[in-house]
Amino acid sequence: MTNQIDEFLTWRILDAKFGSVLYEGLDHLIENADEIGNVKLRNVCAKLSSQLADRLDNTVGLLDVSKRRFIEIALVDAMNRADELMKQHGLLEQFENIAVHDDDKVA
């Protein structure tokens, strides 16, 4: 069972790590730009079932995080995991034209 001090400290640590104020400003900047520095930005769209879209809306609402930030974190984690599994199972050796970019990984 988690006690209140553990919950409080976890909240403060994660807030410091992900800095909601920092990311709110970044979200605003990204939404209004096609490029930041030398990084070109692209819009990625996907059709989702209305149930999944509603679940996403509810989740980001409860977490008070932007959809962009939530989806970005989820995509980076999923791609990092896919890279690990592709390497583990030798898929990249079979298909050398598939690029895995270690410099794109986010800790």
The predicted-structure confidence for 74-104, as pLDDT tens digits, reads as follows: 999 999 999 999 989 988 777 766 565 555 5
Record the tokens describing residue 86, joined without a space. 């592709």
Helix (H, G, I), strand (E, B) or coil at 19: coil
Identify the residue whose tokens are 């977490």. 63
Between CA 92 and CA 19 the distance in angstroms is 36
Between CA 55 and CA 98 the distance in angstroms is 32
Between CA 23 and CA 69 the distance in angstroms is 8
Helix (H, G, I), strand (E, B) or coil at 79: helix
Query: Whole-prediction pTM value?
Result: 0.67
Share of the chain above pLDDT 90, in %: 28
Predicted confidence (pLDDT) at residue 106 exceeds the cutoff of 60:
no
